[in-house]
Amino acid sequence: MTIAVFLGALLLAMALGVPIAYALLVSGVALMLHLDTFDAQILAQNLIEGANSFPLLAVPFFMLAGEIMNVGGLSRRIVNLAVTLVGHVRGGLGYVAILAAVMMAALSGSAVADTAALAALLLPMMVAAGHNRARSGGLIASAGIIAPIIPPSIGFVIFGVISGVSITKLFLAGIVPGLLMGVSIAIAWWWSARNDGAKPAPKATAEQRWLAFRQATWALVLPIIVLVGLKFGVFTPTEAAVVAAVYALFVATVVYGELKLHQLRAVFVSSAKTTAVVMFLVAAAMVSSWLITVAQIPADLVTLLNPFLDNPTLLLIMIMLLVILVGTAMDMTPTILIMTPVLMPIVKAAGIDPVYFGVLFVMNNAIGLVTPPVGTVLNVVAGVGKMKLDEVTRGVVPFMIAQFTVMFLLVLFPALVLVPLKWLSQ
């Protein structure tokens, strides 16, 4: 009955069009009334404490870094480097999108920011070269969702804060799965676009490649600084976010000179607005998380899933299918916030490595950004590329299937995540 009250209130509020953050508060109030423990002071206290977290400071700084990179020319230089490297091969602009997405993922950790930049820069080029518009939009959307997996990742930060799992380990564990996601959509692109008849870009000369590399060097140094700093304990993930933002600001204003002082206010305001939405979601979810624990919902679910606890692989498959279903109707951040406190006790009871589960869970939620009908990243591509949403949705299907295939391979073969993590953590 307790689960029904919580889910019923949440789904009803969402169905009425209530924003997710407020819907979480509504479900929290409904649960408190059901438990006969309603206290506005406790509600307010948990709401404030939900956002009062040092690790969560990484979120605004990574978002700021992403905004600066797009406005300050870092993203454009990375795309230009990718064009000189693989733009000349058959279907080359598709591989450019994938390569650029992987490199940009190591800079910002925001799927929306990366996708918007890629769509603005590459979609017109791909269509002009003769590639199918819907397929090109679908590829860019799928490439953009690599950002929450390759570090630094805002999704890992939020999951780590909610679950208590090491954010540094999540960052390191996400490298190989993120690269595998890129490889999977490259294979899908090779297969689906082989008959496009698109004209590839002219092959760049060695001098052009060297020039593009030199121009992008300042941008490419950032992920190295972040990963080396995290691996050797020079700074925490939160401090890494500050380093990323300050470094991006320095490069964009001093080195490249493309970000002018009069543009700074707009950049800060834009990132602040996005941060405010995410942080209010986190705060509201903490209220629900506390009440879920008080109501012993995780314990009830563990009891229900007892038959699966002896088979971690089967349990993970069931959880992944559940998250896929939820991801069709809910955005990545609220899904992580709502489901993490419910699923983590089950995962621990089954003896599944929390870092390994975190990678699979965030990956599943990232793919949810391109699953219709909600698909936030699909909407970004449709908006930037001036396309219909159903057109982008049709184009994304083969790439979405490829990424789900990688995810279930990781479920069946945990060593693909755990072995690289062990090596990188040494």
Closest alpha carbon to 74 in 216, 211, 210, 225: 216
Which pLDDT tens digit goes with each residue over 171-220? 889 999 999 999 999 999 988 877 776 677 778 888 989 998 888 888 88
Kindly state the DSSP code that residue 251 receives in the 8-state scheme. Answer: I
Q: Does 55 reside within a domain?
A: yes
- Does residue 275 contact residue 96 with C-beta atoms inside 8 Å? no
Torsion sign (Cα): 39, 40, 45, 47: positive
330: helix, strand or coil: coil
The predicted pLDDT at position 403 comes to 94
Q: Does 96 reside within a domain?
A: yes
Helix or strand (DSSP H, E) at 398? helix 389-412
The predicted pLDDT at position 28 comes to 76
The predicted pLDDT at position 74 comes to 83
What is the count of structural domains for the chain?
Answer: 1
Residue recorded with tokens 């890992």: 156
Q: Does 17 reside within a domain?
A: no
Identity at 58, one-letter amino acid code = A
The predicted pLDDT at position 185 comes to 94
- Does residue 293 contact residue 337 with C-beta atoms inside 8 Å? no
Neighbours of 413 (CB within 10 A): 12
For the chain, how long is the longest CA-to-CA vector?
73
Q: Does 4 reside within a domain?
A: no
Determine the structural domain holding residue 102 and report its residue range. Answer: 39-425
The predicted pLDDT at position 353 comes to 92
Q: Concatenate the DSSP letters of all residues of 60-78 into one string.
A: HHHHHHHHHHHHTTHHHHH
Residue recorded with tokens 């690790």: 55
d(CA 33, CA 24): 14
Q: Does 24 reside within a domain?
A: no
The predicted pLDDT at position 329 comes to 65
Q: Does 242 reside within a domain?
A: yes
The predicted pLDDT at position 244 comes to 84
Q: Does 161 reside within a domain?
A: yes
Residue ranges of the chain with per-residue pLDDT less than 70? 1-3, 50-51, 53-55, 109, 197-198, 288-304, 329, 373-374, 426
C-alpha to C-alpha distances, 192 to 88, 127, 131, 183, nearest whole angstrom = 18, 15, 11, 14
Q: Does 30 reside within a domain?
A: no
The predicted pLDDT at position 297 comes to 64
